[in-house]
């Protein structure tokens, strides 16, 4: 293990040695996973701090639901939802680090992905205006469900701001993506998309070390498509970049274990964090942070021997 690096906010993280948990913070009234529980500013910030305290290295803030069938929101509404949360969360997280006596001047040249090091905020958006404001407010990662294909301006923005960038694959858009997903070869087609968007990002000046890839499980995919992608992660890897996966609470887990209850998908999702880490994934976007952090650490302890 080791040797796969990801650059975030001027720091180089060895995610090959220790993976990173991204905790989901939905600031929406219609999220599939929490039904708008964290829509208010104070509840959202409190949840973000809890995510960090439970061991997530990244708090992933989103203000537009991307569940199947979701309607888009305006730039102005998305900004209203996420920017106050990111600003306050960044202040609170920085204050917590300072209270622990952290000295930013003593950062190592390469960090391992342990839960005791620096924390980051990502903005889950495909809108350049939202990404720009979020980076101003304290985010350092842009997590784009369109992989930079939704609006070309986002690639130039990421390059200019030296942000980390997660390129996700989605067939269609949230409103229609699960109507009738179709691929000739889903693994090859997603890998081709990654290579195309990687090349476009580099052409726009994005630092290749700042890029990671997410196959977009459940985003325009059937159950069989999801399983094909998860079973062939290494075929998706481009230029030794990190791979992120987001399977937490998703409906395909319910289909596999025979339940429609959201909370009953927890054990299956945690099991996949362990399995997929052993198969090469480095970044895990989850709702239930502590359980997944524990699974990741136990898995990595075994993998190191």
Tokens 């499980």 sit on residue: 217
pTM over 0.85: yes
List residues bridging with 66 in a β-sheet: none
In a domain, 230, yes or no: yes
Whether pLDDT at 61 is above 80: yes
Does any domain span residue 216? yes
Q: Give me the pLDDT at residue 144, please.
A: 97
On the question of pLDDT at 103 being above 50, the answer is no
Q: Which two tokens stand for residue 146?
A: 């369109």
Q: How would residue 11 be classed by pLDDT, with cut points 50, 70 and 90?
A: very high
What are the C-alpha distances in Å from 262 to residues 33, 249, 259, 267? 7, 6, 8, 11
Is 285 assigned a catalytic role? yes
Give residue 105's pLDDT: 43
DSSP bridge pairs for 58: 22, 120
Residue 108 confidence (pLDDT): 53
250 is catalytic: yes
Among the listed residues 57, 90, 265, 285, the single catalytic one is 285
DSSP collapsed to 3 states, the chain:
CCCCEEEECCEEEECCCCCEEEEEEECCCCCCCCCCCCCCHHHHHHHHHHHHHCCCCEEEEECCCCCCCCCCCCHHHHHHHHHHHHHHHHHHHHHHHHHCCCCHHHCCCEEECCCCCCCEEEEECCCHHHHHHHHHHCCCEEEECCCCCCCCHHHHHHHHHCCEEEEECCCCCCCCCCCCCCCCCHHHHHHHHHHHHHHHHHHCCCCHHHEEEECCCCCCCCHHHHHHHHCCHHHHCCCCCCEEECCCCCHHHHHHHCCCCHHHHHHHHHHHHHHHHHCCCCEEEECCHHHHHHHHHHHHHHHCC
Domain-located, residue 304: no
- Taking a C-beta distance cutoff of 8 angstroms, is the pair 97, 114 a contact? no
pLDDT digits over 283-295, tens only? 999 999 999 999 9
Domain with 58, as residue range(s), is 5-298
**CB burial string 195-204: b at 16+ within 10 A, e below:** eebbebbeeb
**So what's the pLDDT on residue 176?**
73
pLDDT of residue 106: 47
Out of 127, 250, 265, 277, the active site residue is 250
Query: What is d(CA 75, CA 68) in angstroms, rounded to the nearest whole number?
Result: 20
Q: What is the pLDDT of residue 31?
A: 56
What CATH number is associated with residue 292? 3.20.20.20
257-280 confidence digits (pLDDT tens): 999 898 899 999 999 999 999 999
Tokens of 278: 């052993």
Q: How many domains does the chain have?
A: 1
How many whole angstroms separate alpha carbon 10 and alpha carbon 251? 37
Alpha carbons 253 and 264: distance in angstroms, whole number: 9
Q: Render pLDDT for 110-145 as a digit per residue (tens, 0 to 9).
A: 775 443 468 999 999 999 999 999 999 999 999 999
Contacts of 267 (CB under 8 A, 6+ apart): none
Here the tokens at position 145 are 């469900």
């Amino acid at each position: 293990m080791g040797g796969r690096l990801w650059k975030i906010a001027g720091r180089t993280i060895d995610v090959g040695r220790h993976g990173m948990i991204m905790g989901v913070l939905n600031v929406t009234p219609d999220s599939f996973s929490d039904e708008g529980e964290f829509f208010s500013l104070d509840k959202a910030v409190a949840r973000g701090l809890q995510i960090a305290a439970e061991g997530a290295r990244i708090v992933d803030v989103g203000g537009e639901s991307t569940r199947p069938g979701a309607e888009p929101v305006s730039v102005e509404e998305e900004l209203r939802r996420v920017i106050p949360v990111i600003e306050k969360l960044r202040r609170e997280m920085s204050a917590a680090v300072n209270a622990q006596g952290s000295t930013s001047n003593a950062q190592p040249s390469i960090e391992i992905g342990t839960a005791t090091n620096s924390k980051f905020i990502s903005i889950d958006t495909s809108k350049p205006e939202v990404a720009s404001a979020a980076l101003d407010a304290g985010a350092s990662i842009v997590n784009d469900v369109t992989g930079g294909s939704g609006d070309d301006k986002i690639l130039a923005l990421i390059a200019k701001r030296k942000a980390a960038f997660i390129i996700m694959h989605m067939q269609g858009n949230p409103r229609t993506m699960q109507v009738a997903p179709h691929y000739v070869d889903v693994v090859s087609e997603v890998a081709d998309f990654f290579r195309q968007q990687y090349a476009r990002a580099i052409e726009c000046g994005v630092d290749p070390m700042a890029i990671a890839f997410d196959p977009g499980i459940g985003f325009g995919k059937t159950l069989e498509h999801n399983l094909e992608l998860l079973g062939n992660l290494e075929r998706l890897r481009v230029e030794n970049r990190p791979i992120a996966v987001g399977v937490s609470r998703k409906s395909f887990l319910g289909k596999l274990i025979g339940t429609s209850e959201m909370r009953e998908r927890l054990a299956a999702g945690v099991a996949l964090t362990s399995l997929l880490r052993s198969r090469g994934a480095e970044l895990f976007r989850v709702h239930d942070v502590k359980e997944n952090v524990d699974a990741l650490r136990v898995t990595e302890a075994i993998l190191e021997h």
